[in-house]
Structure 1
Amino acid sequence: MFYFGGMEHSQPKIAPEQRRGRAAPSCETGRFERHSRHAEWDGWDMAEDLPVIRTQISDERPRSLIIYNRSPDLPFDRSINPYRGCEHGCIYCFARPTHAYLGLSPGLDFETRLVARPDAPDILARELRSKRYRVATLAIGTNTDPYQPVERSREIMRGCLEVLRAFRHPVAIVTKGTLVERDIDILSDMAADGLARVGISVTTLDRVLSRKMEPRVPAPKRRLATIRRLTEAGIPVRLMVSPVVPALTDPELEDILEAGAEAGADAASWIMLRLPLEVSPLWQEWLAEHYPGRAARIMARLREMHGGKDYDARWGRRMRGEGPYAEIIARRFVVAARRLGLDRKTPALRCDLFRAPPRAGDQLDLF
């Protein structure tokens, strides 16, 4: 038997048999909480099977959906998130710390305690219909993946795409989920009018490494097949080598770019591994468990790029880092992308087609 109490020391790792198919080794309470909680032996010498941690989904009905940002590091100024938390469970995900705002752990809670927003399509339509709204490309998938497994049954992302198609609104999607293929019918219609692009993230071509690092993400070859299917349907796709992990995945950089070009991607980008807030200790726990012989080297390279720190959040530095190692990776990417024709500037998505669709009872336009 186990009891839970208000403990103020570091979180012990959760038994592997409890977290099968998960990346985070622990469930440390978020940074806003006064106490942390963990399982403690009660002293009874009795064998007991520990329950496997299952995915839980709750619903949230926000008042607004579109989030605006002013970051000079980002090519968009607005985004939406149909879900909070992500069952894909990528250990390196920079969005993990956002779960602390819910009073939940950026560790296992981020992967297992998800929040769905079933009213997202209706809220999005309301916001787009506002007279104050000014159109610009809307990004989806920049925080948590809109095509994580729960989307198969909930179809919230599909509902949002139907709204965007009706409003003829430009959208840029980032995903690792092959479920995006389900929405080819909508995306191909929008792409034909210059209203849609998709970015597919491929971190490694090594299936074993991928399963450890991003346990519930489709295999790398399957994601490459998704790039091919989307491009064959006329949907432009950017290959995203993200994140590049020094001394672990960086030797694959050119191979990933070649595989993406062969699959039909028309552009590519890269981002260095980022370890904000709770991500750093989670990442280091994961390294110690899976790649203990490389852990010191990987962290040394990261700290070299961030002035001796695990992470530097300053604009202009957080995505790529600084110093000789970062410059080498950047140069390798430029040379390979140019050779493969992935360095081209893609055309901007169209904003001139935007219009609110008529509703039942609306007065007809006479002109």
Structure 2
Amino acid sequence: MALLAALALVVVTLGAALTPVRPREPAEPPFSEQVRVSALAETLRLKAAGEQLAQAAPGNGSGTGQPDFSRTVTLLTTQSRALLAPGDVPHDASTPFPSATPSAASSPAPLPASAAGLAADLAGSGRRRLADAAAADGGMARLLAAVGTAQLLQASALAAAAGAPAPAQADPVQADPVQADPASPLSGACPSPEAAASSSSAGHDAPTGDATLDGALAATVRTEMETVYGYQVALTRLGGEAAKPAAEQLARHEELVSAAESLSRMHCAPVPPREAGYSLGQSFLAAPATGLAGLETATLPVYADLVALSDGETRRWAISGLLDAARRAVLWGADPGPVPGLTADPAAFPTLPAGSAAPLR
């Protein structure tokens, strides 16, 4: 019996030693990393399409009735650099980035062969970036919202230059809590000032500073109130065709003030008091249209911060606010740049590695 037991043990041991060990499945990258890689691959693909179309355009698209693709290529190049991560180094132009997920590394769609096709693909990419921003981590949400906003703006400009139909203007995140009820059920759960002070004295005080949801909401309220005042002053000096859009945007900003205040109450955040007036420089009074462009541009980082510091319906509202603010800035002649709302210097973005000028495939 002892011999049989020893033989059985030997057989079991040999079987275990000879059984191949299955390699562990690689962990799926976080959602924010997946959408970053997808955004980078799509942006590089569109950049390559713009470069090909620029080379094929008569006179490089200048003064020949063809759109100038240089702005599109420059914008997509800067966005690609902003989306780049340290490990994103392709072996050659046909090798996907190592961090790409299988879906992001699969064969992309064919490059668009016309300005209208590039505008359509650019708009589609912009809408996907904004939709992904609604669910990504805070910092990545801000970046994706900025990239998507600029791509949608450039898609409209490129389509107009090519004489093609403008891309759809529908809100990619489909959120507009402008009609939010100020008497939200959440407001009834807000602690009283006495309770908040007691909690703070017990060592449970909330984070302070502007890098909080409360701070971002307060900044949004204050910025929108100042913008309303600017439009009210500008309307007394604008005439002709500029007066109508200014009046329309004034009404919109008044709605945004109420919406931001409602969201603040929903989140139990302090609502800044409304001011009687704000200081406007002499340059604003001398050139009110230019001043309105500056006011709209100043709202971009405010909405971008709110995107990063919020979630759910509040973030979707902030993404819509960022897109609409960028469109209003363009309306008054401002250039929101390749990453609207980001205060980082594009010159500090990483340099694209050699071989990434071509689309990933």
Structure with the bigger percentage of helix: 2
Q: Relative contact order, CA 8 A, sep 6+: which one is greater?
A: 2
Interval containing the TM-score (normalised by the shorter chain): under 0.3
Structure with the bigger percentage of strand: 1
Query: How does the TM-score come out when normalised to structure 2?
Result: 0.26
Query: How does the TM-score come out when normalised to structure 1?
Result: 0.25
